Amino acid sequence: MNRLPFLRLVSLTSPGIRVRINGVQKEVREEAKRKFMEFLERKDLRITNQRRVIIDTVFDTDEHFTAEQLLDWSRERDSSISRATVYRTLPLLTESNLVHEMDFGKPYKFYDPNYSDSPNHNHLICEDCEKIVEFDSEKIEEIEQEIGHNLGFTVKSQNLQLSATCNALKRSGACDNKPCN
């Protein structure tokens, strides 16, 4: 399994479970952006101003986002960004394998800009406010390898998605940061 060291994950309460709390280093994000530019060049795709703003926005964040969030964030930088350009750029980002598309059973997809940094990390999502937490666990990896081995498979990648309710929802019946889309 192509697992990168999770140096920026810090051990939580349970041994063997690491949650990303410090984000992805700027250099890692810059490197991913550089690779994406090369990918566009190989495809002979023109990098328009709009597209450059969208790409800068994607690789400046380590938060997971929806297409509409990316549109909002990009428009904060340049109000002329069109929805069509965002929706045309997203498939290129996922095709490059630098951004991963995730389906949490919502009417829209989420995009993970941390995929090139750690392709095998897992996600917890609050089904109400859609807060996403990334975590990694050697225990889970061991179990998956064991299941694969016992059934005669070689596990190549893993990506566990847990739908959950966050603490704010449990405490007060409402989450602080409800998504508006």
Q: Does 116 bind Zn ion (CB under 5 A)?
A: no
DSSP H or E stretch at residue 133: strand 132-137
Total residues binding Zn ion (CB under 5 A): 9
Report, in Å, the least distance between residue 150 CB and Zn ion: 28
Q: Site map for Zn ion, 71-100, x if CB under 5 A?
A: ------------------------------
| Residue 134 binding Zn ion, by CB under 5 A | yes
Cα distance between residue 164 and residue 124, in whole Å: 7
Cβ neighbors of 97 (< 8 A, separation 6 or more) are 115, 116
Contact window for Zn ion (CB under 5 A) among 8-16, 69-77, 155-163, 172-180: 172-180
- At 32 the three-state DSSP class reads helix
Task: Output the DSSP codes for 69-81.
Answer: HHHHHHHHH-TT-
Stretch that binds Zn ion, among 24-32, 36-44, 67-75, 112-120 (CB under 5 A): 112-120
For the bound state, the minimum distance from the C-beta of residue 130 to Zn ion, rounded and expressed in Å, comes to 7
Rounded distance, CA 139 to CA 17, Å?
8
